Amino acid sequence: MIVEGTYPLPGKPEAVWDLLMDPDVLAKAMPGTRTLTRTGPDRYEGTMAVGIGPITAAEFDLVITLTDVMRPESYTMLIDSKGRFGFARGAARVVLVAGGDGTALEYRADLQVGGKIAGLGQRLLDSVSRMMIRQGLEALQRELAARLG
Amino acid sequence: MTSRYFGAPILRLEDVRLLTGRARFVDDVDLPGMLHVAFLRSDEAHGRLNRVDPSAARARRGVVAVYTAADLGDYWRPGPLLVPPPPIPGMVFNPATQVPLARDKVRHAGEPLAMVVAESRYLAEDALDDIVVDLEPLPAVTGLEAALRPGVPLVHEQFGTNLAAWVRQTKGDYASARARAHAVVARRFHYDRGAAAALENRGVVAQWDARAEELTIWDTTQAPIPIRNGMAELLGLRESQVRVIAPFIGGGFGPKIMMFYPEEVLVPWAAMRLGRPVKWIEDRRENFFATTQERSQIHDAELAVAKDGKILGVKDRFLHDTGAYDPYGLTVPLNSQCTLLGPYVVPHYDSEFTAVFTNQPIVTPVRGAGRQHGVFVMERLLDFAARELGLDRVEIRRRNYIQPDQFPYDNQILFQDFRPLVYDSGDYPAALEKAVALIGYHRFVSEEQPAARKEGRHLGVGVVSYIEGTGVGPYEGARVTVEPSGTVRLATGVGTQGQGHFTTLAQVVADQLGVSVEQVQVSTGDTREFGWGTGTFASRGAVVAGSACHAAATRVREKVLDLASRLLELSPEELVLAGGRVHRRGAPESGVSLGELARKANPLRGAVTPGTEPGLEATAYFGPDRGNAANGVHAMVVEVDPETAAVKIRRYVVVHDCGTVINPLVVEAQIQGGVAHGIGNAFYERLCFDDSGQLLNASFMDYLLPTALDVPTVELDHVVSPSPLNPLGTKGVGEAGAIPTGAAFAQAVEDALGQEVEITEMPMSPCRLFELLERGGSGRP
């Protein structure tokens, strides 16, 4: 499953970057995240719960590793999540492009989903993931606006 | 033989029990102290299994045991190869059978990793969460063609390839036929995966009686006797210590003839080990992964024809997906290879298939068992050839039929029963003419279709024919006993999954013994009642078990008449056996009842001379020389909305020849059910896997089954060509309805759309048909 898009955020890429590296902010940017802690320079671990179709509040253990980190321009998030309802894993490329007063956040995630969430939630996976990303980016925008404001 | 019941449309005797909820199914077995099982299954389709740690699950309250592959010790071993490949020269076969619990590697999503036994199913399911698994994902192999590309991941490393089998069978010299051809029609055909989707999923209950030293297994299997034999061997017991009961089963359709499934092997083992009854009932989600599936094939086929439409030869190269393991050998692709020839004279045939391993659930026979693939390819090629030659679809078939005087007709290749593919009897032109008349083909094409088109409606008709190899060996048996109550007891080894055995087999016996069918008590699928036999598959019950019942009943009849003759001091020729009594011809009030004779047949002191055998009882067996060939023609009228690609089936006609009919109601119901299955295969059902081997529609919310609204009532007619290969003259009918449906559907839909699309794939879902119409850019307003 590929999800991609561009989202405008206020502030310079540096400010956006710092925010994106903050686990507390990251947790807000990923709806359903219950805990997220930095466990290494480029590694975060936590849990999240997602509801997809007939599966409500499926809990996942989450490990995020950052690679190809080019501050403040781009990085790749390697996502590995597992739980009783299946797994989701893959890579999300994030590129920050300065423009005017703000920053355009370009993202492209290639995710592989398996287990019950794939077998039972397939019809909704696409729309749920889009919804989650939109909610996450809106949260990020609010956070940025608050910090910069 | 007085023929009162044989051939009569009597209502099914078992239906009272089934419809009033009094029939016992495996899930009805509820034993004191019974434990319940849940399996932890792999989410990954392909992965290296590094560790399974069940310690936390074992500590959970209510959990009695948790087993991983490591806990099985010597009991861990791959299942048996159920059907070894037939002796075809040059054949390649790489056997790899399923394992009870994955040990080093996982090869398809849903493969079991651990088994939890707990006080309830709820507790067992909860405990699955406690098991820690370290499973390292590997890239998966899913596509048929991708499986053989160099450098792809291997499902079974030991073979160095994903090739599971390669077989070539030829007849004549195709190349020379092609050189002489007026036209060669070549296409690529796709057939995708489907599920059997039986109403009842699988289930096993096992109970070890330590005092009697006996193991009882209730199992939804289609093959109780081989399961008994195999389980005795696996568990180190004598066969007589194991009793397998296959009670009423809510549909088999093939996957339940697959034997020694992991759950089937593990539940009895756990019951013995724990000393308590153990139960596992498959849920629907498990069924989508853990029960075998069918169908995926790609054919590159061509038909060489003469100018008059006569078939000169057929060449076919196809790929077959066997899934992660191939325990059922080559049965499915061999069925495709053999059934392609159909009812036609094909002088030259060159067919080669390659079976491949993929990281998908195991493929074994499902109703039709690959036959529909062969029929689809052949019937489509004939349609395309007719179009190219400007011939009528019905006419090209008519010109190529094997004629009634050509039987036995030798196709010169081997069938899945390892015997030559020789058709025993039939009248193919008669079946075609009846179907053409019944559907009103000529009037439809010349009047109804053009008239409807003027009104803006798109109607189409499809007419196709097929052969179904049925009634294969090796053998079945039956024991018939007259009891002192006058009841006739019939025991046979085949299990029943709804086919009507309690009625049809009783009909066979009742006539021989002059009793009413209600007086014949049938026992099927209980190894204690009858311990020899193979199982219910390949549309063989009525043929093979039916003939054995007939033989046993005939012998008992002789015993009855012999005893009565001595007792009444009349010669057997003077006696009549009817109404549950033996009497002197012309004097029905005289004589003696069957029950009385049964009592007399159990002699008291002083009544025995050396050699006396007690009882009015006989056991007999029947094994046919080879399978026989049922045949038929399906015709359907569809209406297609070219805007939405919705298809309505307006009429469905089947003219079927299954030889002598024991009970027309049962035959009609089998055909109606088969057509429902076939419509599902043709238009609705497709298991969608992604590139990583994940099944994307693992529920009935997304896996579409046809409903009663989508399946028309079949209009039926029969041709009767008795089989010379068994005393009853019967042929099989269980799969007939499902086999040519896709081919008929494709032809009818194309016809409705004025041949603006060409259908070379199955299933043809509404969405897919819409895509084809879009791509064609025609047929739409």
The domains of chain B, with CATH numbers, are: 15-22+473-622 (3.30.365.10), 31-138+199-251+256-290 (3.90.1170.50), 297-472+625-776 (3.30.365.10)
Sequence-separated (6 or more) residues with CB below 8 Å from residue A43: A63, A64, A65, A66
Is residue B762 exposed (0-12), middle (13-18) or buried (19+ Cβ within 10 Å)?
A: buried
CB neighbourhood size of B604 (10 A): 8
CB neighbourhood size of B584 (10 A): 15
Is residue A125 exposed (0-12), middle (13-18) or buried (19+ Cβ within 10 Å)?
A: buried
Averaged pLDDT for residues B654-679: 96
Q: Please, what sign has the CA dihedral across residues B426, B185, B387, B464?
A: positive
At B204 the pLDDT is 98
Phi, psi of B777 (to 5 degrees): 65, 15
At B779 the pLDDT is 39
Q: Which of A120-134, B37-51, B461-475, B508-522 has the least mean pLDDT?
A: A120-134
Q: B88: distance to nearest CA of chain A, Å? A: 40
Based on DSSP, count helices (H) and strands (E) in chain A, helices before strands: 3, 7
At B458 the pLDDT is 97
Q: Is the CB of A114 less than 8 angstroms away from the CB of B698?
A: no
At B646 the pLDDT is 93
Confidence class for position B2, pLDDT limits 50, 70, 90: low
Contact with chain A for residue B695, Cβ under 8 A: yes
Pairing label, strands B592-593, B311-323: unpaired
Q: What is the pLDDT of residues B168-190, one digit of tens each?
A: 999 999 999 999 999 999 999 99
Q: For domain A2-148, give the CATH number.
A: 3.30.530.20
Summary mean pLDDT of chain B: 95
Domain ranges for chain A:
2-148
For residue B45, the chain A residue with the least C-alpha distance is: A114
Q: Is the CB of B702 less than 8 angstroms away from the CB of A123?
A: yes
- Chain A residues lying within 8 Å of B44, measured CB to CB: 87, 114
Rounded Cα gap, residues B363 and B361, in angstroms: 7
Q: Is the CB of B699 less than 8 angstroms away from the CB of A119?
A: yes
- Residue B781: pLDDT over 90: no
Q: Is the CB of B288 less than 8 angstroms away from the CB of A119?
A: yes
Evaluate whether A27 touches A45 at the Cβ level (below 8 Å).
no
Sequence-separated (6 or more) residues with CB below 8 Å from residue B364: B254, B255, B257, B258, B292, B294, B327, B328, B331, B332
Based on DSSP, count helices (H) and strands (E) in chain B, helices before strands: 19, 30
- Residue B125: pLDDT over 60: yes
Q: Is the CB of B44 less than 8 angstroms away from the CB of A114?
A: yes
- Chain A residues lying within 8 Å of B697, measured CB to CB: 119, 122
Q: Which of B123-127, B631-635, B698-702 has the least mean pLDDT?
A: B698-702
Q: What is the pLDDT of residues B453-489, one digit of tens each?
A: 999 999 999 999 999 999 888 999 999 999 999 999 9
Q: What is the pLDDT of residues B399-413, one digit of tens each?
A: 999 999 999 999 999
Q: A48: distance to nearest CA of chain B, Å? A: 16
- Residue B608: pLDDT over 80: no
Q: A113: distance to nearest CA of chain B, Å? A: 8
What Rg do the C-alpha atoms of chain A give, in angstroms? 15
CB neighbourhood size of B442 (10 A): 12
- Secondary structure element (H or E) that encloses residue B696, with its range: none
For B226-310, strand residue ranges (E) read 242-245, 278-281, 297-305
Sequence-separated (6 or more) residues with CB below 8 Å from residue B229: B239
Contact with chain B for residue A114, Cβ under 8 A: yes
Q: Is the CB of A119 less than 8 angstroms away from the CB of B45?
A: no
In this complex, which of A112, A116, A119 lies closest to B692 when CB atoms are compared? A112
At B780 the pLDDT is 37
Q: Give the whole-number percent of chain B exceeding pLDDT 90.
A: 92
ipTM for the complex shown: 0.89
Contact with chain A for residue B697, Cβ under 8 A: yes
Tokens at B349, concatenated: 């045939």
Rounded Cα gap, residues B340 and B455, in angstroms: 38
Q: How far is CA B355 from CA B331, B374, B714, in A?
A: 11, 15, 35
- Residue B604: pLDDT over 90: no
Averaged pLDDT for residues B578-592: 92
Q: A129: distance to nearest CA of chain B, Å? A: 16
Query: What is the secondary structure of B288-309 as a DSSP string?
Result: HHHS-BB--EEEEEEEEE-TTS
Question: Chain B interface, mutation test: which of A2, A60, A110, A122, most B Cβ atoms within 10 Å?
Answer: A122
Tokens at B658, concatenated: 């299954």
- Residue B755: pLDDT over 90: no
Averaged pLDDT for residues B350-356: 98
Is the overall model pTM greater than 0.90, yes or no? Answer: yes
How far is the first Cα of chain B from the last one, in angstroms, to the nearest whole number?
65
Q: What is the pLDDT of residues A16-65, one digit of tens each?
A: 999 898 888 888 888 889 999 999 999 999 999 988 888 888 899 999 99
Contact with chain A for residue B1, Cβ under 8 A: no
Q: What is the pLDDT of residues B542-553, one digit of tens each?
A: 899 999 999 999
At B3 the pLDDT is 62
In this complex, which of B128, B692, B698 lies closest to A119 when CB atoms are compared? B698
Contact with chain A for residue B702, Cβ under 8 A: yes
Q: A136: distance to nearest CA of chain B, Å? A: 26
